[in-house]
Amino acid sequence: MRALASLQVAQPDDGALVISDFTIWGVDGSTVTEGDFSLEGNTLVVNTDKHFAIRTADQTIYSPDSGNDAGRHTNPTSTRLRIPEGQTAHITLAGVGISADDALDIQPGAVCHLVLADGSRNSFYTAGNESAIHNPTGATLTIDDEVANKDSNGGLITPENGAIPRDLTLADGRTVKKGDPLSTMDSDDPGHLLALVKGGGNSSPLGGHNYETGGALTINGGIIAAYNAGAAGGGTNCAAGIGGGGSADGTSIDEWITINGGRVDADVYKTGYGHGAGIGGGNAAHTGNIRINGGYTISTGGSHGSGFGAGCEAANSMGYQIVITGGTLIPSTIETPYSGCGDIGAPGVDITITGGSVGNGRPGKPFNFVGSAHNEDGEKLRMVEVDLTGDVGEHTYALTEWELLVGNAPLPLRRPRRVRQGAPVPLASRETRHGKRDLRGVHLRGHRQRRCERQPQVHHAEAPLPPCRRPGRQQGAALRRLRSSRFL
């Protein structure tokens, strides 16, 4: 098991406090004092709404080849953080490693805004039976990178149809236009956040305890991983990666899990077992309400759980909603779907897809919706894959403009987040009263940007491409396409 060298991220100022194993300093014009915190045993309690940054001493992390320990700190503190009931906290994580039950404990009635400092690595880990980041029903958690999803007046930017809702100036002074991709508000060097459970696995890494419903969560940016690597066996590993604990709902009927940006990886199959969904509910429970407006999300359920939605033996989730308006979602249920499970959904849940792309995390296997999947007009949806691998070559690209034509008429489907090598772009196509409708033409217009390049070359192309077809279809079953693109 190798460790990576310490990373250079935001540094404390001259007025920084040292409390237990934490170094704490004010940001955004705030100045913090020791009176803003209390140390109760092995718990640092936050008693202020001032904006502050926090870090732990040793920034060495396990390398990517370290199995389920990859990304966590090698020498974390055992002192956890708590946001008590009634408190609102604004915390910039600038390299925090904690190993403890409920390493970050957001109590019901508390509100926590986390900013992941650029280039930082942050890990919350437990080898016990509680959560890594405890965010139960009644609590509210927002996670963002250093490019705040706020306008110049400090107002939150709420996506509209999977995109920027209006012409505005961001908090950092940049201007954006109505319809611009939400990735416009992503940092170029986003911080990382790992929530890892390696105990019994019946508490969600980012959500509720066993038998405890998950709370409200909004992800606006950053690179977030929530892994349930709990013990494999009957009666264990029953929680969702993000959402409900074992036998608990993803959210209450009035709360939402919302992803507007960043990259999210939720996985409960790290030990080759699991009963929960990647994002959603634990076993024998409801999905909760989930909305994807942007970002790139991978959601892997357990051997008995849905990829995205509910766990095994799912409860009827009538009254709950799954809404996808943009971005890219790759859900998968590892084995042949368990009764009441699938790639997305749960019995009775309402699934509305108006944009973005929904990938098949089980290549070569049929994609499964469970519940009612439809567009904004109530028309039933099915999956169609558009193969663009001839265009993207060996690279992964962000997609910033997108136009889809059916026949010669535009289909108002909002853009996926990115296109990657070897992967088709899956789209939810409606079924009409005349039967299943083929996509007769695909017109892709847009920017493809390699994330690794700071000053990419610009190319322009306008040319017909070879026909693309649905997987398994032969010559004549055409999905014809024309590309007119400006590529970065």
Instruction: With cut-offs at 50, 70 and 90, classify the pLDDT of residue 433.
Output: very low
Q: Residue 416: what pLDDT?
A: 55
Q: Residue 477: what pLDDT?
A: 35
pLDDT tens string 188-231: 999 999 999 998 779 999 999 999 999 999 999 999 999 998 77
Q: Residue 316: what pLDDT?
A: 95
Least confident piece of the model among 78-82, 137-141, 349-353: 349-353
What's the rounded mean pLDDT across residues 341-348?
90
- Within 13 Å of residue 414, how many CA atoms lie on the same side as its CB? 26
Beta pairing class for 121-126 and 216-219: unpaired
pLDDT at position 408 over 70: no
Q: What is the DSSP string of 332-395?
A: E-SSSPPTT--SEEEEEEEEEE-BSEE--SSTTS---EEEEEE-TT--BEEEEEE--HHHHTT-
SS3 322: strand
Q: Which of 179-183, 318-322, 402-406, 465-469 has the highest mean pLDDT?
A: 318-322
Q: Residue 335: what pLDDT?
A: 63
What's the rounded mean pLDDT across residues 424-429?
50
Q: Residue 486: what pLDDT?
A: 32
Beta pairing class for 121-126 and 97-99: parallel
pLDDT at position 417 over 60: no
Q: Residue 114: what pLDDT?
A: 98
* pTM given for the model: 0.84
Distance CA 380, CA 61 (A): 47
Q: Residue 468: what pLDDT?
A: 38
pLDDT at position 445 over 50: no
What whole-number percentage of the chain has pLDDT above 90?
A: 55
Q: Residue 414: what pLDDT?
A: 52
Q: Residue 11: what pLDDT?
A: 78
Instruction: With cut-offs at 50, 70 and 90, classify the pLDDT of residue 266.
Output: very high
pLDDT tens string 1-19: 445 444 445 678 888 999 9
**In this structure, which amino acid lies at residue 300?**
T
What's the rounded mean pLDDT across residues 362-368?
78
pLDDT at position 440 over 50: no
Q: Residue 406: what pLDDT?
A: 57
- Is-contact 218 242, C-beta < 8 A? no
Phi-psi category of residue 187: left, alpha or beta, with phi > 0 → left and psi -120 to 50 → alpha: beta
DSSP 272: S
Least confident piece of the model among 327-331, 397-401, 445-449: 445-449
pLDDT at position 59 over 90: yes
Instruction: With cut-offs at 50, 70 and 90, classify the pLDDT of residue 293.
Output: very high
What's the rounded mean pLDDT across residues 139-145?
98
pLDDT at position 323 over 60: yes
What's the rounded mean pLDDT across residues 353-368?
81
Q: Residue 458: what pLDDT?
A: 29
Give the angle subtended at the CA of 251 by the CAs of 280 and 416, to the nearest 5°. Answer: 50
Distance CA 120, CA 395 (A): 25
Bridge partner residues of 485 (DSSP): 461
Instruction: With cut-offs at 50, 70 and 90, classify the pLDDT of residue 303.
Output: confident
Question: Considering the chain, what is the average pLDDT of its residues?
Answer: 81
Beta pairing class for 289-292 and 321-324: parallel
What whole-number percentage of the chain has pLDDT above 70?
A: 75
Token pair for 120: 């930082």
**Residues in contact with 51: Cβ distance below 8 Å, sequence separation at least 6, in sequence order:** 26, 27, 28, 29, 30, 90, 92
Q: Residue 467: what pLDDT?
A: 37
pLDDT at position 484 over 60: no
Q: Residue 386: what pLDDT?
A: 59
Which one is predicted more confidently, 275 or 363? 275
Instruction: With cut-offs at 50, 70 and 90, classify the pLDDT of residue 339.
Output: confident
Instruction: With cut-offs at 50, 70 and 90, classify the pLDDT of residue 476.
Output: very low
pLDDT tens string 19-38: 999 999 999 999 999 999 99
pLDDT tens string 369-392: 899 899 888 888 877 665 555 555
